[in-house]
Chain A
Amino acid sequence: MPRYGVVLCMVAAVLASACASDKVPAEQAVKAAEAAVAAVGAEAAKLVPDQAKALDAALASVKDKLAKSEYKAVLAEAPAIASKATEVAAAAAAKKAELTKSWEALSAGLPQMVAAVQSRIDILSQSKKLPATLTQAKFDAAKAGLAEATKGWEEATAAFKNGAWADALAKGQVVKAKTVEALEALGMPVPPAAKS
């Protein structure tokens, strides 16, 4: 009996020391995972929100396991977080490049469309009567649409400057649609780029 007791004590001691020996590596693994997630940056949450959220959840999970001393689980899961963080960073960079390119195209062309509408409305406002092809209702609608487009473009530009790229593009598309409506109401041609 005493021999069994000694053996049991020795096994318990070995197990305890094994657990303790996983603790430091697990802590280091979590620190490495935290650093990898921090390196992704706050922009990722705006650009690829679902992926960023999943990454944060994975980090929270290993931290929770560390707090519960589930060191083996931490050591199994934490390394994958670093490679996942790299993927998320790459996805965010690609998304940002795509949104920026779309914005640049829109901001290069949309203001000149708006200016064309403005010019026509200004001239028609000086006319003694509207042309035969334009009703007062359509003219009023064009003026209202232009006012909304102008305000919308200011908001879109501000959103882009604040890093809300997807929001800026969405607002820009609304401005484009309103400007096209105004062009059509005025009987003016719609440029090819505005038709897409």
Chain B
Amino acid sequence: MSDKPAAKAGGGDAWDATQWHEVVKGDTLWKIAEHYYGDGNLYPKIFEANRDALKDPNKIRIGQRLRIP
């Protein structure tokens, strides 16, 4: 059973307003998009913002930190 998607803040830069999400069990990009955007169909936005870490939008790992644009 998944927990509520975990939202975290910050980056190295003191002005960085990037929102980060740490993947928990049961998360999918669809669910994460549903949580932050109200619409799971917008998951490609999250995928594109994390191309450096994600090769496949269906494959995310627990503990992975994803940028939420």
Which residues in A have some Cβ–Cβ distance to B below 8 Å?
108-110, 112-113, 116-117, 119-120, 123-124, 126-132, 134, 183, 187-194
Considering only residues 1-59 of chain B, those with a C-beta below 8 Å from chain A are: 7-10, 13-19, 34-39, 41-42, 45
Q: Are B36 and A131 in contact (CB under 8 A)?
A: yes
A119-B69, A123-B45 given; A108·B15 CB < 8 A: yes
Chain A residue numbers with a CB within 8 Å of B14 are 109, 191-193
> What range describes how many residues of B lie at the interface?
20 to 34
Q: Are B10 and A131 in contact (CB under 8 A)?
A: no
Q: B58: shortest Cβ distance to chain A, in Å?
A: 21
Q: Are B39 and A191 in contact (CB under 8 A)?
A: no
A119-B69, A123-B69, A131-B34 given. 14 additional CB < 8 A pairs?
Answer: A109-B13, A112-B15, A113-B17, A116-B19, A123-B45, A127-B38, A129-B39, A130-B38, A132-B38, A134-B38, A191-B9, A191-B13, A191-B14, A191-B17
CA of A112 to CA of B12, assembled, Å: 13
Q: Are B37 and A109 in contact (CB under 8 A)?
A: no
Chain A residue numbers with a CB within 8 Å of B16 are 112, 191
Q: Are A112 and B38 in contact (CB under 8 A)?
A: no
A119-B69, A189-B10 given; A124·B15 CB < 8 A: no
Q: A176: shortest Cβ distance to chain B, in Å?
A: 10
User: Nearest 7 A-B pairs (CB), nearest first?
Assistant: A189-B9, A109-B15, A193-B14, A116-B17, A131-B38, A127-B39, A130-B38
CA of A60 to CA of B17, assembled, Å: 53
Q: Are A128 and B38 in contact (CB under 8 A)?
A: yes
Q: Are B19 and A188 in contact (CB under 8 A)?
A: yes
Q: Are B17 and A192 in contact (CB under 8 A)?
A: no
A-B contact pairs, 30 of them (CB 8 A): A112-B16, A112-B17, A116-B18, A116-B19, A117-B17, A123-B45, A123-B69, A126-B39, A127-B37, A127-B38, A127-B42, A128-B38, A131-B38, A132-B38, A134-B38, A188-B17, A188-B19, A189-B7, A189-B9, A189-B17, A189-B19, A190-B9, A191-B10, A191-B15, A191-B16, A191-B17, A192-B10, A193-B15, A194-B15, A194-B17
Chain A residue numbers with a CB within 8 Å of B10 are 189, 191-192
The residue that A110 contacts in the complex, of B15, B34, B35, B38, with Cβ under 8 A, is: B15
Q: Are A126 and B42 in contact (CB under 8 A)?
A: yes
Q: Which residue of A lies closest to B37 (CB)?
A: A127
Chain B residue numbers with a CB within 8 Å of A108 are 15
Q: A185: shortest Cβ distance to chain B, in Å?
A: 13
